[in-house]
Amino acid sequence: MDGPRQSRLRNFNDDPARVLNATDIVRLIGEVVQLKPKGREHVCLCPFHDDHNPSMYVVPSKQIFYCFVCGAGGNAFEFVKRYYNMGFREALEMLAERAGITLTPWKGEAKTDSDPPAVDRAALAQANQQALQFFRGILNHKEHGTVARETMAKRGIAPEMVEAFLLGAAPDKFDGMVQWIRSKGLDAKHFEAAGLLKRREDNSHYDALRNRLIFPIVDQMGRAIAFGGRILNPDDTPKYLNSPETPLFQKGSTLYGLWQARNAMRDTRHVIVTEGYTDVIACHQAGICNVVATLGTALTQRHAQVLRRLVDRVTLLFDGDEAGQRAADRAADVFFAEPIDVRIAVIEGGADPDDLLKQEGGVERFNALIDAAEDALAFRIKRLTRRLADSGQAIGSQARTRIIEEEAGRLVELGLGALSPMRRQTMVRQLARLAGVDERTVQAEIAAAERRLRAAQARAAEHRADAQEGPAAELAIATGSLRPADWLLGCVVVEPKLALDPPTQPEPHAKDVAWRPSLPELRDALALSAYGSGPLQAAGARVADALAAGESEVLSQWLLTCEDEAERRALTALAARVDRETAGEPKRLHAMFLDVARQCARERATTASETRDADSIAQQLAAIGQSHRTLGGNPLAVARGAPE
């Protein structure tokens, strides 16, 4: 089989196949979401949409993933491309590095339209990695790293933490990195794009980070994607400075220390979220390693989505001052409707985690604080109670009632309806107590707020020019009705050997005679998929061609040789559908294969009879009768698995 669909493999030789064979997709996906075994598969919250019930399936035997809600699916390459926003070549390099495979040198020809220009992202990644080496070198420099080393020593940062968090230093010069880039013959524009250099009016460059302790920010693969800098001179401003956002780095979805905390989070199913670099390092140094931090921004919904896929419990840790209290309020809003256990801990007395852990018995006090963290709903009610007390409004007053109504409306916006019935009822009861009314009155106010919200959402939907129009094709494949030819194609994609060595089955009216579809019959039946419409059209033709050539490819090869993204997703959806319907059991798969093969044969016999040649009508009717006697007479039933 030659043609455009082979260009990807020609460009990379057998590298993709070697890398896929060495990649465990369960381990790969399990590093960024929490996988739970379910029979022969694993399930998880889908990272590609706002999923609250596990809808993504990972099938180890097929090395594929598929979400039955949003339609995301494919092999390890597809997951890496979507999750990390990479092109095919970049995903190939990342998985090859994980597997310890040396790739064939790439000449850069035959790039596909589906891959974004790899030079941009690759250049950014390389510039960040080179900058990491520069900052690390400065820290260890006898002269330029002196102040940074002394600062770390004063703050009690152990050498092991310096290595674990890849800490570095920026020299007290405007052109330290500029000179280094020039000496290495590197392209300054890549460092400028990464936010490490800035441009003057005369187009010359200068260092963006100067005289600072450098905290590299790494992604969930451990790659440096940005940098944070803390001042070394108290007179400098601002105290902290982060890299700007780039295609590799978005503050609203990145958490400092996530890479270093990943193992502890996986073991404890719990994460503690703090507010600063040094807090994270201090906790890890004290042996409390399931700790991460935001990057100078408030917690966002994207942060919440990242964390709830990895853990079952989140503890948000804040300072006890007013700023910390406001941050806790915002965080409680973000996590309000998340289906995980969220707790809030507040350090009283103006201390931060770094200060607390350095005190006598600090580790014990820190752990006690985390153990005593308050449920997020209880925290919210306590804050509301304090607000009402500060307002001085008596129970039953109009002003107090208005505050309760505002809170009810806000809770509806945050997803009150998504809470479990018990938690929702707790909120209703607490609001009724604070307002001095019965619970039915509060429920009526919540219902009115929900109606207002739905009306506003409906109006917004009417004005959205980019509103989606119906389900995606792959979702229809995964959940809708399929033709017998499509089921047959799915069986062959799941287990290609079925086509070249079909199992046998007794004929319905001749139980001593074993029946199996012939290769020409299968080829013709699979070709029926090519006569339809949608992404399965090309897939049916592809498999039919392979059978004609005597080839039998595994699913991973189908996905590798498909240049068209829609076709790859359709094949994945079809394979996931068949695997789910047959529960991954070979016996049920064989039964489905034979049953749909019979139905395809019936369809073919019926199609052959539809002719206007009067001389052959009798022969065709006789053929249909023979088909009915041989194959059975129910052309409507589609097998979903083996008979019990």
pLDDT at 41 over 80: yes
Convert the pLDDT of each residue in 289-343 to its tens digit. 999 999 877 788 888 888 988 999 999 998 877 777 778 888 888 888 777 889 9
Q: Return the CATH number at 204.
A: 3.90.980.10
Range of the domain at 291: 253-381
Same domain, 367 and 257: yes
Least confident of 209-213, 354-358, 452-456, 563-567: 563-567
* 386 within a domain of the structure (yes/no): no
Same domain, 220 and 86: no
249, two tokens: 């780095």
Same domain, 478 and 564: yes
**What's the rounded Cα separation, in Å, for the pair 241 and 230?**
7
Q: Which of 215, 247, 279 is where one domain is finished?
A: 247
Same domain, 261 and 225: no
Same domain, 363 and 241: no
Same domain, 70 and 156: no
Same domain, 348 and 276: yes
* 464 within a domain of the structure (yes/no): no
* 87 within a domain of the structure (yes/no): yes
Same domain, 355 and 373: yes
- Residue 465: predicted pLDDT: 36
Contacts of 448 (CB under 8 A, 6+ apart): none
Angle between helices 421-435 and 398-414 (to 10 degrees): 160
Same domain, 377 and 525: no
3 state DSSP class of 31: coil
The residue behind tokens 């070979």 is 586
Q: Which of 60, 87, 115 is where one domain is finished?
A: 115
pTM above 0.75, yes or no: no
* 239 within a domain of the structure (yes/no): yes
Q: DSSP letter at 297?
A: S
* 341 within a domain of the structure (yes/no): yes
Convert the pLDDT of each residue in 464-502 to its tens digit. 434 333 345 666 777 777 778 888 888 888 887 777 677
Q: Return the CATH number at 323.
A: 3.40.1360.10
* 643 within a domain of the structure (yes/no): no
* 641 within a domain of the structure (yes/no): no
Q: Return the CATH number at 97.
A: 3.90.580.10
Same domain, 161 and 286: no
Same domain, 83 and 144: no
* 639 within a domain of the structure (yes/no): no
**What's the rounded Cα separation, in Å, for the pair 491 and 600?**
13
Q: Which of 459, 491, 511 is where one domain is finished?
A: 459
Same domain, 281 and 365: yes
How many domains does the chain fold into? 5
**What's the rounded Cα separation, in Å, for the pair 578 and 66?**
12
